[in-house]
Structure 1
């Protein structure tokens, strides 16, 4: 499909421009408090598990975590691997190892992966802890682990899944499909009896600012930012731009389009009409009657994002642009 549209010379935007948006509003103030609490707890922690969204393994890191990660053994988990284009797996691992990452695993917390938890994750955590001199504690048979990451990468889902697999207990921490569910550093949660492992769940913490618009929009696409703060239509506009730029036209068939579109309003109008997303609004024009019906662009945008985040538009690697030089080598 990609060759068909590229061959016919479709012209798409070369860059994405964000207009009339105050990016500072995307980052809630409670995140600074969360970071302070995490730093204060690090002394009592044996290992730090960092969770990132596998679709944004580079853009999804918070540089502010560097101090925490340097202080204790570090295991990086790339979650939502089922939504990721795994053809970039080797490139991602190469770049992360260049950044000093020693322990790395690809996971999908939506699946109860008992064999992975028992045979891979727990041994990896224990090996990391035992490779460093432990912080002095009264009971060395107890291991404390802190789980960190930016919002909505699956930290709480990970904790609940480990707990369910190892000690057959239900949810100990709230889970949601949007950013900002966990707002505080919780008390220790027991996730394993042998070895005795307790986990601190933490709030998702973003850097106070992003390097560029593309990084911010990738975070928004993966629901690491709250949709309404960025604007559903703006996020979909970036998604459309990204798909076209990378010659990924699966959305054309999914949304029953005749050809790729680069105009988000035209795209949302089509999606709204095809999916009966119609808004009833009061008319200001007496000649139209008191009520008129118009395509609901907000509802249409929400539908597009839901399908993308569920993987219905195909697996993606949103950080593929950061790895182009590896393919040229």
Structure 2
């Protein structure tokens, strides 16, 4: 399965971001802590043109804490301030304003040198791929419901400015995927966490990829959640062993059809829903060492 998804509103969003850049002081780049590399849009560096940036690893409550710590260290080594947050639960939110102020401090010093005594509110652009939690973050920062949220990609369709107290103004934008996944592993990882609409996906293939990627490292989580008997796949490159795990999950969850056969599509849906919601435990699909 080849994954591509670049609706027209994403093209418009990219153009609108570029048009607003002159008004922007800093950028918050929101990533999914479970896939920090795969949830980074490779076009963002080109689009943002060197604007001061804070990288937030959202949904940190769903990610493996040890992996998240290594990702934060890796971003900081690359010169990007980084912070793990849980926008839905509030973890790390209070630190964001201070981090942004630190980013724009040199600009404010230059303004003071020109005689500007009281600078305006800091204008912050929030960018990220679909379903990474931008609207949830904005609502948390604003302390009120001002941005539409949902557990599916593509909820935000246009831009809007949101005031956060008197110190910050946030520009929300639709999530932007890139036109082509040069590495299909990136597309599969995004599909696993729910950043691509399921209507264009084959759930069995996505679940197959999830089992192949995660079963060895997080087998205890599979056993605890689904009550599986037996061990993990000895050879993750053996399709039969991966399908066997999905069938075991299907039998435990009653995903059966006539003749006692397992409905792999239903079993795949069960696995992916539990993984995305955190019921399978705290899981990270990629490590920073893979990309060094």
Contact 2:228-2:252 within 8 A present in 1 as well? no
- 1:231 to 2:202 alignment: yes
Shift of 1:88: 2.5
Shift of 1:211: 2.8
Q: Secondary structure at the match of 1:188?
A: strand
- 1:142 to 2:121 alignment: yes
Shift of 1:278: 5.2
Q: Deviations over 1:62-114 (max 9, x none)?
A: 1111034334221111111111112124432332234331x21110011134x
Contact 2:72-2:84 within 8 A present in 1 as well? no
Partner of 2:105: 130
- 1:220 to 2:187 alignment: no
Contact 1:84-1:317 within 8 A present in 2 as well? yes
Contact 2:87-2:93 within 8 A present in 1 as well? no
* Aligned positions, number: 280
Q: Secondary structure at the match of 1:160?
A: helix
- 1:173 to 2:147 alignment: yes
Relative to structure 1, is the Cα distance of residues 43 and 323 closer, same or farther in structure 2, using a 3 angstrom cutoff? same
Relative to structure 1, is the Cα distance of residues 302 and 107 closer, same or farther in structure 2, using a 3 angstrom cutoff? same
Partner of 1:275: 253
Q: Which stretch of the first structure deviates more once superposed, 296-305 or 269-278?
A: 269-278
1:300 to 244, 250, 267: 267
* Distance in 1 of aligned mates of 2:290 and 2:174: 33
Where does the alignment leave 5 or more consecutive residues of structure 1 unmatched? Answer: 1-20, 281-291
Shift of 1:147: 0.5
1:182 to 156, 160, 166: 156
Q: Secondary structure at the match of 2:274?
A: helix
Partner of 1:314: 281
Partner of 2:236: none
Larger radius of gyration: 1
* Distance in 1 of aligned mates of 2:205 and 2:153: 17
* Distance in 1 of aligned mates of 2:7 and 2:184: 18
Shift of 1:269: 3.9
Contact 1:243-1:249 within 8 A present in 2 as well? no
Instruction: Tell me the TM-score normalized by structure 2.
Output: 0.84
Partner of 1:28: 7
Where does the alignment leave 5 or more consecutive residues of structure 2 unmatched? Answer: 234-238
2:142 to 138, 159, 163: 163
Alignment of 1:75-94 (within 5 A): 75-94=54-73
Instruction: Tell me the TM-score normalized by structure 1.
Output: 0.76
In angstroms, what is the RMSD of aligned CA positions? 2.8
